[in-house]
A = this chain, B = another copy of it.
Amino acid sequence: MKKVAIIGLGLIGGSIALGIKKSNSKAKLIGFDVLPKACEAALLRGVVTQVFPDLFSAVKNADVVFLAMPVKQTIVILKRLATFSLKKDVLITDVSSTKQEVLDCAEKLWQRGEVRFIGGHPMAGSHKSGVSFADENLFENAYYILTPSKKLADEQDITELNELLSGLSAKIQIMDVKEHDLIASQVSHLPHVLAAALVNQNNQYSKNHPFTKLLAAGGFRDMTRIASSDVHMWTEILLSNQSAISERIDDFVRHLKNVKQFILDGNETEIANFFENAREVREKMPTHQKGGLPNFYDLFVNVSDSPGAIYGITKILKKEKISLTNIRILETRTESYGILQLSFKNEKDLKKAKKVVDIN
């Protein structure tokens, strides 16, 4: 019977535990969190069967240890784990958003034969936090990146972790640790910096131009949604991926300077190219793919603007017991027909819905 210790009983740790239990009915899931409330909630929610009052008791007999917390804490806990006598060849993994620093730390602390280490980054989340909202489907179809330590893990260890995680139905992707942090700096860290910078700039500008805030509308709000993210976590992320992010900032500044020059030159062709390239690439972006944030299997249906149109469709879905993960009207503010976007959990539900909903 494999003992799996979840250190950090929040939404992510809890959801991983539930996913593991789904495909490993014999695994014993145990946990630890510095917050007694989180421990209680984890027992109540049934994500672990036992919680311990201290870190050492939780990990001492564990075969696998999940560190489910932000990057800085992960490193603190790794250093504490190194002071304990752990089970020989315990498999340790984590969930933090940047991977190099954690991997370096593990490789400094242990030798092959003492501890096995594979970094992990499950790329899904929810607006909800806390173990009470843990969900075995949270990572369904989301990417779950693994960055194995070359020193502390081999193919067999990766296979073992892969199998343990199979119940999550995530897309497991092995990636070089450096490559992970580089790509994350482009697709996630830089966008967060841009969103926050735009909000701050807008705020400053509004001091001398009071209409600024009044006129910042839909497009602006979409672009700055991620500026509402967790301050503490994002500060840690920037600090643990310094060179990659600053390189991406420099590169972005080069892009901005180019387009600025086109504007000053009145270079219509180059400005049009700039927008045309972006439009083409943007429209090719896959919409059925999951990643850092959830996104879904969609069905698009023409509906009239009458109060009964959506009712009719939800009635059919209810009858067929098909759950929606989301529903929205794409085209609004016209008297004519609109497009209803119905999002489903998986392809099976989407196919079922396609059969019963009349796509007129």
Contact = CB atoms under 8 A, between A and B. Distances in A.
Contacts of A225: 219, 222-223, 282
Contact of A203 (B198, B268, B277, B292): B277
Contacts of A308: 318
Interface stretch (A52-60, A88-96, A176-184): A176-184
Contacts of A294: 218, 332-333
A186 B203 contact: no
A332 B328 contact: no
A154 B350 CA distance: 59
A221 interface: yes
Interface stretch (A30-38, A105-113, A245-253): A245-253
Contacts of A124: 333
A209 interface: yes
Contact-residue size bin, chain A (C-beta under 8 Å from the other chain): 35 or more
A229 interface: yes
A333 B183 contact: no
Nearest to A292: B217
A22 to B, nearest CB: 13
Given A211-B179, A334-B138, A281 B200 contact: yes
A322 to B, nearest CB: 6
Contact of A242 (B123, B138, B266): B266
Contacts of A184: 215
Contacts of A331: 126-128
A282 B336 CA distance: 34
Contact of A249 (B188, B256, B327): B256
Given A275-B231, A326-B328, A201 B186 contact: yes
Contacts of A84: none
Contacts of A327: 310, 327-329
A133 interface: yes
A282 B212 contact: no
A124 B334 CA distance: 12
Interface in A278-308: 278-279, 281-283, 285, 289-296, 305-308
A334 B249 contact: no
Contacts of A326: 328-329, 332
A256 B257 CA distance: 13
B268 A199 contact: no
B126 A334 contact: yes
Interface in A324-353: 324-336, 343, 345
A87 interface: no
A161 interface: no
A126 B246 contact: no
5 contacts: A187-B217, A200-B277, A219-B226, A228-B279, A234-B275
Interface of A: 123-124, 126-128, 132-133, 135, 137-138, 140, 143, 145, 173, 175, 179, 182-184, 186-188, 190-203, 205, 209, 211-229, 231-232, 234-235, 238-239, 242, 245-246, 248-253, 255-257, 259-260, 263-264, 266, 268, 271-272, 274-279, 281-283, 285, 289-296, 305-308, 310-311, 314-315, 317-318, 320-336, 343, 345
Going nearest first, the 9 A-B pairs with the smallest beta carbon separation are A217-B291, A218-B293, A196-B278, A217-B292, A311-B314, A199-B278, A311-B318, A227-B278, A328-B328
